[in-house]
Structure 1
Amino acid sequence: MENLLRVGVISSTHGVKGEVKVFPTTDDAGRFKNLKKVILDTGREQMDLEIQGVKFFKNMVILKFKGYDSINEIEKYKGKDLLITRDQAVDLGPDENFIVDLIGLRVITEDGNEFGTLTDVLKTGANDVYEVKTTDGKEVLLPAIRECVLKVDLENKTVTVHIMDGLLD
């Protein structure tokens, strides 16, 4: 299980005083108000950054990091991920999982047959949708609803599903 969870991606700078626009990859962008630090993944290294200020603009979060006071110091980090440790993560409710924990799980049917591998989770308005690469190489979309996803077993790394009529047509 991954210990680091992505909460956002730096999309661009904001102004000239070292602020950045962050596209949140978390369900609740408001959680940035409670974060004191994040980990910046530069691709070569991971750096701890202390959050000095948080603002919101449309669907973006504007962050100011302590020690970064000009656009020149921060613009090289555009496109880089912001991570948190699992102990900083929000508490999940029953039947909720972090997407990073679901990717790569084996998908089996309710009668025990191997169906494929969960490759992505798509966020839609009504419910999430699991993208599954089947054992014969096809891509199938399964709604993450109780009638279709019967059990997620992180310990055994499996998702048990019921293939509803019409889903494979």
Structure 2
Amino acid sequence: MDDMLKVGVIANTHGIRGEVKVFPTTDDIKRFGKLKEVYLDTGKEKLLMKIKAVRYQKNMVIVKFDGIDNINDIEKYKSCGLWVTRDHAVKLKKDEYFIADMIGIKVTSDEGEELGELIDVIQTGANDVYVVKGNDEKELLIPAIKQCILQVDIESMTMQVHLLDGLRD
């Protein structure tokens, strides 16, 4: 498990006073209002950034960092990710998992067949869809619904699923 979770990506600067537009990569966009700090991933290092102010504009978050008062000071960080430590992550409900923890999990059917490895999660709005890559390199799409997802064990990195009729070729 990763020690940090990505909550957003700096999409662009906003104005000339050092604010940035952040594209959230979290389900709860309002969580930015509760954050006091994030780690900015420059590609070489992760810089601790104190959050001075947050406001919302459509599907984006406008963030002002403490000590950044000029567009020239922040412009170089466009496309950089914003991360939080696990202790600042949102609390999960029962049967909820962070996508980062699920990537790489081994998936088997309730009939004991090894289906492959979870490589992606597609968020559709209605329910997530798990993308499982089999040993034959084919991808299997499994809806993340109670009828299909029988058991998830993050510690052992295993998932047991029931394949509904029509899910295979």
Please tell me the TM-score bracket, short chain as reference. Answer: over 0.9
Asked if 1:73 corresponds to 2:73, the answer is yes
What is the percent sequence identity of the aligned residues?
57
Match of residue 115 from structure 1: 115
Partner of 2:86: 86
What is the distance in 1 between the residues matched to 2:141 and 2:149? Answer: 12
The one-character-per-residue Cα deviations of 1:122-164 (angstroms, maximum 9, x if unpaired) are 1111100001101211011110001111111111101101111
1:17-96 superposed matches below 5 A:
17-96=17-96
List alignment gaps of at least 5 residues for structure 2: none
Cα distance per residue 1:40-67 (max 9 Å; x no partner): 0000001000000001000000000001
Q: How does 1:131-142 map to 2 (within 5 A)?
A: 131-142=131-142
State the distance in 2 between where 1:125 and 1:55 align. Answer: 24
Distance 2:125 2:4 in 1: 26
Number of the residue aligned with 1:129 = 129
Question: Are 2:157 and 1:157 aligned?
Answer: yes
Give the AA of the match of 1:104.
Answer: G
Q: Which whole-Å CA distance do the structure 1 matches of 2:124 and 2:113 have between them?
A: 28
**Offset of residue 111 of structure 1:** 2.0
Q: Which amino acid letter does the alignment assign opposite residue 88 of structure 2?
A: Q
TM-score normalised by the chain length of structure 2: 0.99
Query: Which amino acid in 2 is paired with 1:41?
Result: D
Alignment partners' CA distance in 2, 1:125 and 1:83: 23
Cross-structure match for 1:148: 148
CA distance in 2, matches of 1:156, 1:71: 46
SS of the equivalent of 1:135 reads coil
Encode CA deviations 1:52-98: one digit per residue, 9 max, x unaligned: 00010000000000011000000000000000000001110000000
Amino acid at match of 2:143: P
CA–CA distance in 2 between the matches of 1:10 and 1:128? 25
What TM-score comes out, normalization by structure 1 length?
A: 0.99
